[in-house]
Amino acid sequence: MRRMTLLTGSALPFALCVAMPAVAQDLQDRPVSPPPSEGPAPANPDQVRFSADQLEYDINADIVTATGEVRMLREGERLRADKVTWNRKTGKVLATGNIAVTNPQGDIAYGDQIELTDSLKDGVVDNMLVVLEQGGRLAAVRGTRQQDGTVNLERAAYTPCAVETSEGCPKEPSWKITAIRVTYRPDRERVYFNGAKLNLFGLPTIPLPRLSAPVGSGGDSGFLTPDIRLDRVNGVEIAVPYYWRLAPNKGLTVTPHVFTAVLPMLEAQYEALTTKGAFRITGYGTASRRSDDLNTLNPTDTSQAFRGYLDAVGRYQFSPEWSLSGSMRITTDRTFLRRYDISRDDRLRTTASLEHIDANSYFSLTGWYVETLRVNDPQGQQPIALPELDYRRRFDDGLLGGKFEVQLNTLAISRTAGQDTQRAFASMRWDLRRLTNWGQEVTFTAYGRADAYNANNIASTPLVYQGLAGFQGRGIGALAVDVKWPFVGELWGGSQRFTPRVQIVASPKIKNIEIPNEDARSVDLEDSNLFALNRFPGYDRFEDSTRITYGAQWALTLPGFTFDTLVGQSFRLNDRPTILYPGTGLSDRWSDIVGRTEMRFRDFVSLTHRFRLDKDSFAVRRNEIDATVGSRTTYGQVGYLRLKRNIFTSIEDLQDREEVRLAGRVQFARFWSAFGSTVIDLTDRSEDALSLSNGFDPIRHRIGVQYEDDCLRLGFTWRRDYVQTGDARAGNSFLLTLAFTNLGR
């Protein structure tokens, strides 16, 4: 028969005062379930509610003994044990046998024996194991618990790693910290180590005289995992970040980068999260020689100069409709980012945008600034757009059941040493979609637009793009009919869909050459714009012709497999001279043939192929392949692009090129993998007369090996750059990566 009672004047410090078996620092799980929550806690904090199979009281010895599934409860602290003995004369309380304890924080402690003092608030325990609620576990030879919940451990071990495999078998954690003394502060959710060593794969490696780490995933102030790198230009690099937790929603990370060949560099990153949004700002600063810099007027100058980079991004959502977003990227010179391996972008864009989006309208006010890092691009000819205003509204026509869309747009582009352009237009588009009795999908479109332009300082712009100086006006109109006729049926246990498509677009002769071209330069016929009303990107050019476009799409869907292919071509019905350049695939009345094929088999194979064939010779003018084969752990990736369009070299945005990109990863053991990637320039002078490539020039490659499990990532990477830009020289670099779960903050 189980008895239940209350002991007045008792305050058991159950949590964390538990013993382990005889093996010291045993981090393995115990075959004991945590005590369940049974009934409310006693109203009086000095009372302990307990239950047991049997309760005995020795009047002569003044000893209370509870045996058989003993369970105790006090203010959220729960204990279970096989036996509890309280000697009221000596003030000794002893719990033995399969002890499991849960404290108010949710930490669970296991052991065989615990001894408490007369006040029942302080305890000493040997061979202790604590499993923390937020992740991680502590094991110690000896430990004591103070009244505030602080636990002091002697000869202890700590790890956040799993101690058993997915099959439930015990395993040694990939890393743990052993220390002479360890203090666990539940109020701070932090563990403090004295005389510690880091053990990797069971072997002591790095001494850590003083160290602290948070429990769980919560961040706190402290050092982060360092980075170690070696390259030809800067020598050995060691970066040791320090993180300040300024508040639960904001933090600052300061990272000194120390090099053996150049002066140190300082990096700082501040990030904050609010109820409306978040932002992050990162800055780099150092001083180094800029004698090889592309902007240096005197190439023999070897004086030190400040070099740095600023990167910021943020977004705020003020309401479901209104948002503000922006990003800023600014650097002091063209080679700083490459030299210090921060970024390999060749242009930096700073932008800010205020947007309003609802079910039927869109408004944006945007500005941007471009900084070039390219060798031959003058910075003075880079655009500064402030502002760009775009407003669109959609509504029903109320008569035929179609949709109207009205758009208002303005743009002002200025350059410090180049062309300035201002643009404004108003447009209206009407679309009506109908389904015939035979299943054809017919879409009627009418489009009209009125433009106003102003251009100044046009001499520095290529003739084909500059337009006429001063004010220019333009009217645009187009009518279109688009017919799709899908046929659906069964095939090989799945479904197939074959869709022929025909489109007719008619528009009068439109003023184009007189208008400056800022946003419609990179025109190229491809599957994405084959059936577009205007095949030019942007707004500054509009295709003025009457044409018919035809094509077909076939799609097959099987269990775990999809296949989709499209091919098409267009024909211009009039012989009016066109502004489309030779090589774009659209300059003649018959266009080139374009297509796209996509194939996917489960999550193992993914293939996308895009092509453009010359209409006369069927020569390949564009060939683009992106393929991925493999699983998440072992895979290969291939990317190939060949553009051979023979476009005039004066059109700088459309030069031909050929390149291949290869990447892959092979998991050769449970936690070990090897990886690599490369980019190779295959362009030769037959494709680009200005190219310096011999037809097989590697750009860069990367090869490495990595170990990664549930709580450790260890890797080594070798990278070689073959292209030199200023003081960002070609050469080898090596990177050692070591990251620990729950350690470093």
- Two tokens at 599? 């194939």
Instruction: Average the pLDDT over 74-101 and give the result.
Output: 81
Given a cut of 80, whether residue 151 has pLDDT beyond it is yes
Residue 128: band (very low, low, confident or very high) from pLDDT cuts 50, 70, 90 = confident
Which residues on adjacent β-strands are paired with residue 188?
none
Q: Are strands 123-131 and 137-145 parallel, antiparallel or unpaired?
A: antiparallel
CB 87 within 8 A of CB 57: no
Residue 114: band (very low, low, confident or very high) from pLDDT cuts 50, 70, 90 = confident
Given a cut of 90, whether residue 542 has pLDDT beyond it is yes
138: nearest Cα among 94, 74, 196, 220: 196
Given a cut of 90, whether residue 188 has pLDDT beyond it is no
Residue length of the chain:
745
Given a cut of 70, whether residue 145 has pLDDT beyond it is yes
Contacts of 161 (CB under 8 A, 6+ apart): 173, 174, 175, 176, 709, 710, 711, 712, 741
Quick: pLDDT tens for 517-534: 999 988 889 999 999 999
Contacts of 452 (CB under 8 A, 6+ apart): 423, 424, 425, 471, 472, 473, 474
Contacts of 534 (CB under 8 A, 6+ apart): 478, 541, 542, 543
The H or E element spanning position 336 is helix 336-339
Higher pLDDT among residues 429 and 301, named by residue: 429
d(CA 310, CA 314) in angstroms, rounded, equals 14
167: nearest Cα among 739, 672, 670, 673: 670
Distances (CA, A) of 719 to 230, 289, 373, 725: 10, 24, 22, 17
For residue 740, how far is the Cα from the chain centroid?
A: 19
Instruction: Average the pLDDT over 501-505 and give the result.
Output: 97
Q: Which amino acid is at 313?
A: V
* Per-chain mean pLDDT for the chain: 85
Q: Which amino acid is at 455?
A: A
Which phi and psi angles does 379 have, rounded to 5°?
-65, -30
Q: What is the pLDDT of residue 21?
A: 36
94: nearest Cα among 102, 104, 84: 84
What is the distance in angstroms between the CA of the first residue and the CA of the last residue of the chain? 52
d(CA 526, CA 622) in angstroms, rounded, equals 9
Q: Are strands 137-145 and 304-317 parallel, antiparallel or unpaired?
A: unpaired
Instruction: Average the pLDDT over 64-70 and give the result.
Output: 86
Superfamily of domain 3-169: Lipopolysaccharide (LPS) transport protein A like domain (2.60.450.10)
> Could you tell me where the DSSP H helices lie in 397-489?
463-466
Q: What is the pLDDT of residue 690?
A: 62
The H or E element spanning position 553 is strand 546-558
Which range in 59-73, 383-397, 673-687 is most confidently predicted, on average pLDDT? 383-397
Weakest mean pLDDT among 67-81, 176-190, 337-351 = 67-81
Which phi and psi angles does 147 have, rounded to 5°?
-65, -30
Q: What is the pLDDT of residue 18?
A: 36
CB 604 within 8 A of CB 631: yes
Q: What is the pLDDT of residue 41?
A: 57
Q: Computed over its alpha carbons, how large is the radius of gyration of the chain?
A: 36
Given a cut of 70, whether residue 505 has pLDDT beyond it is yes
For residue 657, how far is the Cα from the chain centroid?
A: 29
CA angle 650, 656, 662 (to 5 degrees): 150
Residue 59: band (very low, low, confident or very high) from pLDDT cuts 50, 70, 90 = confident
Q: Are strands 420-435 and 277-289 parallel, antiparallel or unpaired?
A: unpaired
Quick: pLDDT tens for 204-242: 888 888 888 877 666 678 888 888 999 888 899 999 999
Distances (CA, A) of 27 to 143, 162, 168: 15, 10, 14
Q: Render the burial of 330-368: b for 16+ CB within 10 Å, e for the rest.
A: ebbbbbbbbbbbbeeeeebebbbbbbeeeeeeebbbbbb
Weakest mean pLDDT among 24-28, 33-37, 576-580 = 24-28
Q: What is the pLDDT of residue 732?
A: 86
Instruction: Average the pLDDT over 354-363 and give the result.
Output: 96
Q: Is the peptide bond before 387 cis (omega within 30 degrees of 0)?
A: yes
Q: What is the pLDDT of residue 354?
A: 97
Higher pLDDT among residues 2 and 88, named by residue: 88
Given a cut of 70, whether residue 66 has pLDDT beyond it is yes
Q: What is the pLDDT of residue 684?
A: 79
d(CA 461, CA 417) in angstroms, rounded, equals 10
- Two tokens at 251? 């933090």
Quick: pLDDT tens for 658-715: 899 999 999 999 889 999 999 998 887 776 666 667 778 888 899 999 999 888 889 9
d(CA 412, CA 404) in angstroms, rounded, equals 27
